[in-house]
Structure 1
Amino acid sequence: MKTITKIAAACLAALALAGCEDDARIASRNLSKAADNFEVVRRIVFYNGITGGYMLSIEGLCSIDTSGSGKTFFVTCKTGPGVYKKHFLGLSDNVTYFAEQMEAVRASAYHYRVTFKPQTIMPDIDFRGSVGAALDATTPDAND
């Protein structure tokens, strides 16, 4: 019985420690989530490290994606209701970037932020083809 109590206490302690995260990390993750939902105005500047000159500046409700190859960089900006622009950029040894958050944004350090979007579960479907082909594909025939 004492062994089970010790195991239960160890499991609870492990869960408590795993759930403990710095306030700054939680707030940072929530700010990133807000930016990925186009709620944060950013200025992203690309500059040449050799000449010191700015090459490109993007400002607006922008999400940054660095998940591509080490040299590829994506910036997606919301320019209006349902209107977006995506920029593909390449980095090199002498070209780098920095991103500046232009305005303060409220973010909780105590709660995680979860965004639920039903349209990602039930996406819009684009059909390419003729109406007849669509009807033939959805109409049962004698072979079904």
Structure 2
Amino acid sequence: MKKKLCLAALLVTLALVATGCNQASRVSYNLSQEADNFNDIRQITVMNCIQGDVLFQMTGKMSITADVEDNQLEVIVEDENGEYKKHFIGLSDNVTYVVEDVTTNDVDQYQYTMNFNPKMWLPFDAETID
């Protein structure tokens, strides 16, 4: 009886764990692993939100870690010789970034583009109507 109860409890636990892992979570994990293993090409765009300027972009095979404690991105890049270099990107209240996976060059229904409108990052003064 105890064995059947333990087996039933194990099956219920496995069922709960299996239903908790949805496809999006698995895909997200797999994509992150591929990028962190330097199999994908990523592009980082760093923007100054006050001026609306793109400060710089990095493109290549890279592993990116957000270091919340030091308020920076830690970027390890693999170069064409298979050597690795580590870069740090400091973040602040007015600097933000976007990371894109740009591995594929195929054009199909899943291809997307990302356009930045610098005007949306500029501060403005709201006028009130009297």
One-letter code aligned to 1:14: T
The answer for unaligned runs of 5 or more in structure 1 is 105-144
One-letter code aligned to 2:13: A
Partners of 1:68 and 1:94 lie apart in 2 by 15
1:32 aligns with 2:32: yes
Q: Which stretch shifts more, 47-56 or 78-87?
A: 78-87
How far apart are residue 17 of structure 1 and its match?
A: 1.7
Question: Which consecutive segments of 4 or more residues in structure 1 shift more than 6 A?
Answer: none
One-letter code aligned to 1:61: K
- 1:66-104 CA distances to partner (integer Å, 9 max, x unpaired)? 145151211111112331221111100000100011134
- 1:93-140 CA distances to partner (integer Å, 9 max, x unpaired)? 000100011134xxxxxxxxxxxxxxxxxxxxxxxxxxxxxxxxxxxx
One-letter code aligned to 2:71: K
1:17 aligns with 2:16: yes
One-letter code aligned to 1:18: V
How far apart are residue 65 of structure 1 and its match?
A: 0.8
Task: Indicate the residue corresponding to 2:95 in structure 1.
Answer: 95
Using the aligned pairs only, state the percent identity. 39
Partners of 2:74 and 2:101 lie apart in 1 by 17
Partners of 2:76 and 2:52 lie apart in 1 by 25
How far apart are residue 48 of structure 1 and its match?
A: 0.6
Would you say how many aligned residue pairs link Structure 1 and Structure 2? 103
1:49 aligns with 2:66: no
How far apart are residue 54 of structure 1 and its match?
A: 0.5
Partners of 2:38 and 2:66 lie apart in 1 by 16
Task: Indicate the residue corresponding to 2:112 in structure 1.
Answer: none
The answer for unaligned runs of 5 or more in structure 2 is 105-130
One-letter code aligned to 2:12: A
The CA RMSD over aligned residues, in Å, is: 1.7
